[in-house]
Amino acid sequence: MLDYNNPTVAREQLLQCNNSSLATIIEYYFTQANINEIEKLYTLSRYFRNKYYSNKVYFRGLIEISSYCKQDCYYCGIRKSNKKANRYRLDKGTILECCEKGNKLGFKTFVLQGGEDPFFTKDIMIDICSSIKKQFPKSALTLSIGELDYDFYKKLKENGVDRFLLRHETATKSHYEKLHPPFMSFDNRQNCLKILKELKYQTGAGFMVDSPFQNIETIANDLIFLKNLNPEMIGMGPFLPHKDTPFKNFKILNINHTLILLALVRILVPKALIPATTALATVDKKYSDLALINSANVIMPNLSPPNHRKDYSLYNNKKSWGNESAQQISNITKNLNNLNLCADFSRGDYFDLQ
Ligand code: SAM
């Protein structure tokens, strides 16, 4: 097992693993390790988080810009085939108002996330993004709007977009094909990540934990994929079912799996910015607290207009990481202090870029 007394050696042990030895380690933590040993794993993870980012937790203002989506992921509540989904999209003025609210609260990063909405063409996105950068030049701008072509990514980068989140979802093609319909392409998603890296975006990858048809081998592939891609951001949260999707009858499995994998990923990719996801907070606040204590260092409070929040429904009972009120931000800050963590409102760039 890992050398708990020497974090550098423990990391080296993980780095040397091939898929099969990593699968054995993951299985051990999932099924056999006792609480003491898992606690030691978390201590290793904390060591690396603190080494690069100390106890800082970066705030990102999340703006959910559209619930329209042309994709049809079997797990997602805003998939195009969900006829019961309420669809909305924010116009440019509303998006800028959300940024303005966030700016007043001290946010220095805005994350625009949405379904793959064909309304947001290259020209429209360039206009929105360059307006945000013009109005808030000191703030970082992150997009999470799915798979685009090379020129679209390139133009967005040239117009000031700093970061792009695009979870790889799974690094195993046969697994990808069980999570998505035939018209969606594993190779294209992987290629998008390659382009984002090539264009020097701070790039985010990641996957859902305990998604349908996932197993220890696919998870080992995911961790090796993340190690090799070396993304600046990694988003990992539990799969949560949505009642109007083909995966409605799959259950939430074991949230400790997410916490264990966050720790292993922190050790493998130690400088990554890792959020305590909304999905974790949705299951129970105690899990997002544990993620922050041990491995994560980002939270993304919601700046979206309150009247649309429930319509960005990716899974049942989706919660927000707080909202745009000063009171909420101050509550989150107090909670972090109670966990011996420190709220940080700077841009929170990747370690090597700070
Ligand atoms: N459309 C963009 C994309 O594809 O990257 C961004 C929005 S997408 C809804 C954001 C992420 O939500 C996905 O990458 C997926 O991992 C996660 N997600 C979707 N449905 C989920 C579910 N049922 N449980 C947990 N996470 C889910």
pLDDT tens string 76-118: 999 999 999 999 999 999 999 999 999 999 999 999 999 999 9
Q: Could you tell me which CATH number the domain at 7-346 has?
A: 3.20.20.70
Enumerate the H helices of 159-206 as residue ranges. Answer: 173-179, 186-198
pLDDT at 324: 73
So what's the pLDDT on residue 281? 92
pLDDT at residue 218 is higher than 80: yes
Average pLDDT over residues 248-262: 98
Query: What is the distance in A from the centroid of ligand 1 to the CA of 231?
Result: 18
Task: Kindly give the pairing relationship between strand 298-299 and strand 233-238.
Answer: unpaired
Pairwise pLDDT comparison (324 vs 126), residue with the higher score = 126
Say whether pLDDT at 311 is over 80: yes
Question: What burial letters (b/e) apply to 294-332, b meaning 16+ CB within 10 Å?
Answer: bbbbbbbbbbbbeebeebbbbbeebbbbbbbeeebbeeb
Amino acid sitting at position 167: R
* Nearest partner of 144 among 171, 111, 176, judged by Cα: 111
Q: Among 65, 75, 233, 249, which residue has the most ligand 1 atoms within 8 Å of its CB, making it the best to mutate?
A: 75
300, 279 in Cβ contact below 8 A?
A: no
Query: Residue 283 and residue 349: Cα distance in Å, rounded?
Result: 28
Q: Whose CA is nearest to atom 19 of ligand 1?
A: 76
* Mutate-to-test residue for ligand 1 from 65, 76, 283, 302, highest number of ligand atoms within 8 A of CB: 76
User: Contacts from 327-334 at CB under 8 Å and sequence distance 24+?
Assistant: 328/301, 329/59, 329/105, 329/106, 329/301, 332/59, 332/299, 332/301
User: How far is residue 304's CA from residue 302's CA, in Å, rounded to a whole number?
Assistant: 6
For the chain, the domains span: 7-346
Q: State the closest ligand 1 atom to the C-alpha of 245, by its place in the atom list counted from 1.
A: 23
Token pair listed for 40: 């030691």
Pocket of ligand 1 (CB under 6 A): 75-76, 113, 115-116, 144-146, 166-167, 169, 208, 237, 239-240, 242, 279, 314-315
Residue 61 has pLDDT above 90, yes or no: yes
306 or 230, higher pLDDT: 230
Please report which confidence band the pLDDT of residue 62 belongs to, taking 50, 70 and 90 as the band edges.
Answer: very high
The confidence score (pLDDT) of residue 343 equals: 97
**pLDDT for the residue 54:** 98
**pLDDT per position as a tens digit, 119-155:** 999 999 999 999 999 999 999 999 999 999 999 999 9
State yes or no: pLDDT of 321 exceeds 80: no
198 CA to centre of ligand 1 in angstroms: 23
pLDDT at 322 over 80: no
CA 210 to ligand 1 center in whole angstroms: 14
Taking the CA of residue 75 as reference, the ligand 1 atom at the shortest distance is 23
Separation between Cα atoms, residue 49 and residue 31, nearest integer Å: 25
DSSP state of 156: H
CA distance 281 to 347: 23
| Residue 149 neighbours by CB under 8 Å, 6+ apart | none
| Residues contacting 19, CB < 8 A, separation 6+ | 217, 220, 221, 224
Q: Which amino acid is at 285?
A: K
Residue 265 sits at the vertex; the CA angle it makes with 312 and 296, to the nearest 5 degrees, is: 55
Percent of the chain topping pLDDT 70: 100
How confident is the model at residue 102, as a pLDDT?
A: 95
Q: With pLDDT > 90 as the criterion, what percentage of the chain qualifies? A: 95
Distance 205 CA to ligand 1 centre (A): 11
pLDDT surpasses 90 at 327: no
- Strands (DSSP E) along the chain, which ranges? 56-59, 61-66, 109-114, 140-144, 163-165, 202-209, 233-238, 298-299, 342-344
Pocket probe mutation, ligand 1, options 287, 314, 316, 319, max atoms within 8 Å of Cβ: 314
Instruction: List, for residues 265-301, the tens digit of each pLDDT value.
Output: 999 999 999 999 999 999 999 999 999 999 999 999 9
